[in-house]
Structure 1
Amino acid sequence: MSRIWIMPLAAALLIGCSEEKIPEPARPALYVVAQPELAQNLGRFAGTIEARYESTLGFRVPGRIVRRYYDVGAVVKQGDILASLDPTDQQNNLRAARGDLAKVQAQLINAKANARRQQELFDRGVGAQAQLDIAQTDLKTTQASMQQAVAAVNQAQDQLSYCTLRADHDAVITDWQAEAGQVVSVGEEVVTLARPDIKEAVIDLPGPLADALPTGIEFRVAGQLDPNVNTAAHVREIAPQADSATRTHRTRLTLSQTPAAFRLGSSVSVTVSSPIAEHFKIPLSALQETDNHSQVWVIDPTTHAVNPRDVTVLRRDAHNVLLSGGVKSGDKIVSAGVHSLNPGQTVRLDKESSQ
């Protein structure tokens, strides 16, 4: 009798075990972390670092360049000689002016002696008034000629000094427009100097953007070789006239800081952005739209359970969607397979996907 009862009991126990539900394994899920975007990217433009102050120098006298003392990129101090002309003509002019001065000096000595002699004769009553007047007039004329001759010598000396082109301030040579042996005229551009102490970034902005820059626009200047070297900037000057070929406006930006890596002529990348209300950009695959409303699946950070959350879509493109509300910074959002999820379902965090 005992065997008869034991067998049905064992069978019942086996049936009960077979009906017990086996827990479903957690499903792996790709996810993205919601990061707020507070600025709208308006574009990235290539630019260069240039000196804010540049000057182009030329000779003040015509002549043939006999020597250039520095090459492009050289650092010069105020007063350093940059180039020189053949001084032969100016030296001859100086010799002629000095000769004229010596001649007038001799004439002045004679005129003074004659005027003094005529004055003595007139004082003794043996000289005529007319002779005295002529002598005094000759003296004054010779004195005026003396002043003119001195001025001519000074001018000739200045002309000779102008054969030497000197730096008018501490600078870096950025360009030569004339070569040794070339004949230049007065004021013709010879060399360009840039002051290295104040630098700025120069870019070309498209016409529509340059004509209507948003309020609070931000510029971030970064090195092409090392983007980690960067600084903020603001507009100093926008060319009023667009380039005839590119239809862009040359824009000069004042740097908030000047990193040592920003050397004159170095290439930079300038990012232009405008502040906007907080929004979040997520992959389009993370968005689920049902019954005329949009939602995303948010992963609970403690239980790893997923639940839908309604969101407000600002705009979308072929790959991403921009949300203006519904999520918070740091939320983990499922980025793939959202149509097969159920509320409260537990997922295994596989890896964060790139946006």
Structure 2
Amino acid sequence: MHIETPCKLRRLLAVAGLALTALALPASAQQEGAERPPQPVTVVTLGAQDVTLTATLPGRVAASAVAEVRPQVSGIIIERLFQEGAEVSQGDPLYRLDAASYEAQKAAAEASLAQANATLRSAERESARQQELRERNVTSQQTFDDALAAHDVAKAAVKVAEANLLAAEIDLERATIRAPLSGVAGLSEATQGALVTAGQTKALTTIRQLDPVNVDVTQSAAELLRWRRSGQSAPDDAVVSLTLADGTTYEHTGRLAAAEPHVNEQTGVVVLRLEFPNTEQFLLPGMYVQVEMPQGKVSDAVLAPQEGVTRDRRGRPMAMVVTADNTVETRELTVQRDLGVNWVVTDGLAPGDRVIVEGLQKVSPGMTVAPQERQAEAPQERQAEAPQEREAEAPQERQAEAPQEQGAQAAQEQGAQAPQGQQAEDAPADTTETASE
């Protein structure tokens, strides 16, 4: 019992030394970790500028004028006088009908007019003779009045005959069907020998005026109200661009021609009519297009890069901003709309704020960072510099990790030496115990 007590004390002291060494290692690692340099991040300094907000609206091309050609008189088509799909001018003949009956009606009207004129001349002579006899009191007043009435009737008959002749001439002229306006003629729906009637439902062909063309688009009434309340509106002379169905941009720009002063009760939209030149007739009626139309101008707008704006769990836009003392701060934003690769921010950011665009995953609010301003370089150049930055950061990380590795090695060495010391101390004790026995 007298010999075993010092041996146990030495063992306890060795175990306590190992525990103190293990407790000292984390504190040393934390001290070394606190000395690590601030996390580098890439920032963009925001500025204020005047921007023009645009809206992309779908629509379809429509001819500026459309005329469906129908016959105004009945007859059989003798000849088609135009080329399908070709341009025609107003007044050009399109179809020629059998006009024999209309020529006969004109001849009859001419004869009726000649007869009426002859009757009028006879009535004029008779009224003049009765006037002379009445002045000499040779004829009665009744006879004189009848002569004047006959003259008036003959005169009216001439006018009726003239009107009938004019109607016959019009019908004869309408036997040749002409283009009501200038444009491009469509396919013919009637062939030679077909019987057509005046005012029939089916059109013979359709003429469309393709220069200029119209594009009708719809915009919600809520959007219009939003712009009017903010004091902004699209100018009447705004330049409008057109994107075709294949994604290409039409080479000519258009203008806002008219706006329907009525909101559709079922859809709640307003129809806007845009006008585009079409000299080459590249745009055809019915084509699907997209129109980019200015909606107004915003003065001193703050544009934030989309890569620097994230959203929280509730979908609210957020941004990480580097303050003047290089600490990270979270801002909740109010975004109006997108503009290219940026967001138009109306609240939450101000000119001069530095928004983090690279390194968002490595920072948190309140953290001190080393901001680096993004330069206007090509994406390939920035990607090429990325490995160099990582190599520059690697020595710093290795330096920060070196004390931890040294502490771990020291702990291993102490742990290796401790058993040897215990063996050295335990050996005499065992000998003494054996001798005692």
The separation in 2 between residues aligned to 1:278 and 1:59, in whole angstroms, is 59
Segment drifting more, 107-116 vs 269-278 = 107-116
Find out whether 1:314 has 2:314 as its counterpart. Answer: no
Q: Would the alpha carbon gap of residues 32 and 68 (structure 1) be closer, same or farther in structure 2, given more than 3 Å must change?
A: farther
Distance, in Å, in 2 between the alignment partners of 1:345 and 1:325 is 18
CA contact (8 A) 2:308 2:358 kept: no
Q: CA deviation at 1:207?
A: 5.6
Q: SS of the residue aligned with 2:253? A: strand
1:343 and 2:347 are equivalent in the alignment:
no
Structure 1 residues 184 and 297, CA gap change in structure 2 (3 angstroms): farther
The question of whether the paired residues in 2 share the 8 Å contact of 1:283 and 1:321 is answered with no
Over the aligned positions, Cα root-mean-square deviation in angstroms equals: 5.3
Aligned counterparts of 1:235 and 1:138: Cα–Cα separation in 2? 61
SS at match of 1:216: coil
Q: CA deviation at 1:161?
A: 1.9
* Partner residue, 1:183: 196
Contact 1:63–1:184 (Cα < 8 Å) also in 2: yes
Structure 2 CA distance, aligned partners of 1:312 and 1:161?
79
User: Structure 1 residue 274: deviation in Å?
Assistant: 5.1
Superposition map of 1:160-239 within 5 A: 160-169=172-181, 171-173=182-184, 179-180=190-191, 181=194, 183-186=196-199, 190=203, 193-206=207-220, 208-209=222-223, 214=228, 215-218=231-234, 220-224=240-244, 225=246, 226-227=248-249, 229=251, 231=253, 233-234=255-256, 236-238=258-260
Which residue in 1 is equivalent to 2:87? Answer: 75
The CA deviation at 1:154 is 1.6
Are 2:109 and 1:97 aligned? yes
- Trace 1:38-57 onto structure 2 (pairs within 5 A): 38=51, 44-52=56-64, 54=65, 56=67
Q: Deviations over 1:125-160 (max 9, x none)?
A: 897456666555444432332232122112221232
Aligned residues: 309
- Deviation, 1:97, is 1.4
Contact 2:43 2:372 in 1 (8 A): no
SS at match of 1:344: strand
**In the alignment, is the contact (CA less than 8 A) between 1:296 and 1:334 conserved in 2?**
no
AA paired with 1:87? A
TM-score, normalisation: structure 2: 0.51
The offset of 1:39, in angstroms, is 5.5
Give, as a single letter, the amino acid of the residue that structure 1 aligns with 2:333: L
* Higher CA-based Rg: 2
Aligned equivalents of 1:209 and 1:72: distance in 2? 44
Which letter does structure 2 place at the counterpart of 1:227?
T
Aligned-residue offset at 1:70:
4.1
Give the structure with the higher percent strand: 1
Q: Is the 8 A contact 1:34 1:328 kept in 2?
A: yes
Counterpart in the other structure of 2:264: 242
Mean Cα deviation higher: 153-162 or 88-97 = 88-97
Q: CA deviation at 1:280?
A: 1.0
Indicate whether 1:334 and 2:346 are aligned.
Answer: no
Query: For 1:155, what is the secondary structure of its paired residue?
Result: helix
- The separation in 2 between residues aligned to 1:58 and 1:346, in whole angstroms, is 71
Structure 1 SS opposite 2:113: helix
In the alignment, structure 1 residue 295 sits paired with structure 2 residue 317: no
- Separation (CA, whole Å) in 2 of partners of 1:131 and 1:249: 77
Q: What is the aligned partner in structure 2 of residue 63 from structure 1?
A: 74
Tell me the distance in 2 between the aligned counterparts of 1:83 and 1:211: 52
Maintained 8 Å contact 2:66/2:206:
yes
TM-score by length of 1: 0.60
Partner of 2:168: 156
Instruction: Report if aligned partners of 1:71, 1:173 keep a CA contact under 8 Å in 2.
Output: no
Aligned partners of 1:125 and 1:312: how far apart in 2? Answer: 118
- Give unpaired runs (5+ residues) of structure 1: 1-23, 299-306
Q: What is the CA deviation profile of residues 233-280 of structure 1, one whole-angstrom value per residue up to 9, with x for unaligned ones?
A: 447213625385xx264623345x747576353543123555443231
